Structure 1
C-alpha cells in the first residue's frame, strides 16, 4: 500500500518548511512504491527544472528501493548496468542526495525527492519531510 495522499502532502509541507528555515526554495516530489507521482509542489522561486529533478530522484529511489546516495554508488560502480536499468523506467533516474525512501516498518511505501538546494540541503529537506510530527 502506498503512502496516503494526506501523508504525502504532510511530507511536502514539512520539507517546504525546512527549506524556508534554510532560506532556499525547492521542489518536493512524493511517489508511490511503483514510482508513480502522488504529489509535486514547487515553492515560489524554485528553479523550474527542479520539478523534473525532484520527481526523477524520487522515482529512482522508489524503483530501486535505494536512497539517492546509495543509488549514486551503483551508478559509479556499475555504469553500464545503471544505464540499461535507467532506460526501463518511465522517467530518467536521478541518483544523488535528496531522495529518501518512505517506509512503514520494513515496508517501502514510496519515496520523496527534493531539488533546488545544494545536495546536502535537498537531503535535509527530504529528511524533514520524513521526520514530520
Structure 2
C-alpha cells in the first residue's frame, strides 16, 4: 500500500503538475502578448505638504504608447472634495509624451490628507488600462 501511494504521488508530480504549469504559463504569455497598450500616465507629482489657501501645482506626464497619433481626455480630481482640478483633451504624436500642470485651489479646505486622482480615458482598442490611473496624497496644513 505504501508503494502504491508513493507511485501515485510520483506520477501526479511528474506528469500532471508540469502539464498545468505549462498550460498556465503559455496562457499567461499569450495574454501578455495580446494586451494592447495605448495611453498612460507616466508620472504625477505634487508637493507632499502644502498650506491651505495657496495654489498647489499638480504635474502630470501623459504618454502615448502607440506608433500612431492618439487623442484622449485627462481628468484630475480631489477624492475627498469631489473637486475637479483639471480636465482637457490631449492629442499626442506617436510615442510622444506631454507634461500638463494644473493649479489646485486649496482655499476654504480644512487641514488633512487629500488624495488627488488622475485618469486618462482609454483609446479605442486599448486593453492595458492599469497605467491609465495614478493617485497621490497631499497634506494640507495651516
TM-score bracket for the superposition, by shorter chain length: 0.3 to 0.5
TM-score, normalized by length of structure 1?
Answer: 0.33
Richer in strand (by share): 2
Which entry has the higher C-alpha Rg, 1 or 2?
A: 2
- The two structures have a TM-score, normalised by structure 2, of 0.32
